[in-house]
Amino acid sequence: MLGFILQRLWQALIVVIAMSALVFCGVYAVGNPIDVLISPDATQDIRAAVIAQYGLDQPLWHQYLSFVGRILQGDFGRSFVYNMPVSELILSRLPATLELTLAAVLFASLVGIPIGMYAGYKPHSPISRAIMAISILGFSVPTFWFGLMLIMVFAVQCGCMPAGGRGETVSLFGVDFSFLTGDGLAHLVLPALNLALFKFSLMIRLARAGTRELMLSDTVKFARAAGLSEFTVLSRHVLRLISIPLVTVFGLELGSTLAFAVVTETIFSWPGLGKLIIDSITSLDRPVMVAYLMFVALLFIVINLLVDLAYAALDPRLRKGRA
């Protein structure tokens, strides 16, 4: 088990280094941040001073090395646009995104898995067909268009839900949260629904496919033969057996929800990380872009590691094989 963890950590490190070089080169090869920083009629002296201040006059590899050096000290540089440390900027936007992501993933799992299992348990009933139709729609409807629909129906036509922003927030342990106030909760519902749609469909589909295959298996035949009620068979045996792929997906989806949050946050003007990265791409705020991409890469590596470990914990065969 320890060897397995060490091997995964070693791989993760290589990936981080590769990602940082790639992201850095890619991001620093586009556009000219000086044009964003200084007005076109600034004097040559001011120009040179700003270039020197941000280290933009150094060769690319030099900039990269000093960039890595600074990262190792936890310093991601200063945002060109906000003129504050990037790490602070990202940390200040993170809670909003995490709140949104968690709300979406929880909704998708808690609602999606039970109805997906039902659809797998009775694959030919009309309700199951309706569930699958919803799931196919959920897969096919692009997130951004579904968001527009939500805004149109609930914010413009019926006017019962706010169309954007975070609403009133409450500070808890120095971090602002929306879900603790009524107003904040109302602001959270539409974006969370929007973000949940894809995971929701995915959970339904996975739960259905898993249940459908398992209902034909010997496990279920024997459990039924032993006189267990259908509910016990489903909740004790089937749910446990389909939980392995579900946990994997749950973990991976946490990460990809963060990626899709870019879309949802743009539509609902949710002041999280996704909106920050879109803004920084349009304004060529490179330190923010680099730091965000590195942050997401790191997050994914950590999530993948955790999913692997959860796998090992859930599946005794894997635990034995690697011990």
Q: Where along the sequence are the contacts to other proteins (CB under 8 A)?
A: 11, 15, 23, 26-27, 29-30, 136-137, 139-145, 148-149, 151-152, 155-156, 163, 212-213, 216, 252, 255-256, 259-260, 262-263, 266-267, 278, 281-282, 289, 293, 296, 300, 304
In angstroms, give the least distance from the CB of 16 to other proteins.
Answer: 12
Pick between residue 142 and residue 182 the one whose CB is nearest to other proteins. Answer: 142
What is the smallest separation between the CB atom of 249 and other proteins, expressed in angstroms?
12
Q: Please choose, from the candidates 257, 253, 263, the residue with its C-alpha nearest in 3D space to the C-alpha of residue 146.
A: 263
21-to-31, 58, 242 alpha-carbon distances in Å? 18, 16, 39
The SS3 assignment for 231 reads: helix
Q: Which of helix, strand or coil describes residue 175?
A: strand
Residue 266: CB minimum distance to other proteins, A: 6
Measured distance CA(131)–CA(92) in Å, rounded:
39
What is the closest distance, in whole angstroms, from the C-beta atom of residue 288 to other proteins in the complex?
Answer: 12
By beta-carbon proximity to other proteins, the closer residue of 110 and 152 is: 152
Q: Would you state the structure tokens that stand for residue 248, as one six-digit string?
A: 């994997």
Minimum separation from the CB atom of position 58 to other proteins (A): 21
Cβ–Cβ < 8 Å for 138, 201: yes
- Residue with Cβ nearer other proteins (114 or 255): 255
Whole-angstrom distance, CA of residue 94 vs CA of residue 211: 36
- By beta-carbon proximity to other proteins, the closer residue of 150 and 179 is 150
Of residues 175 and 318, the one with the C-beta less far from other proteins? 318
Q: Tell me whether residue 177 or residue 206 sits nearer to other proteins (CB atom).
A: 206
Largest CA distance in the chain: 87
Residue recorded with tokens 């036509």: 157
**Number of C-beta neighbours around residue 136 at 10 A:** 13
CB of 152 to other proteins, least distance (A): 6
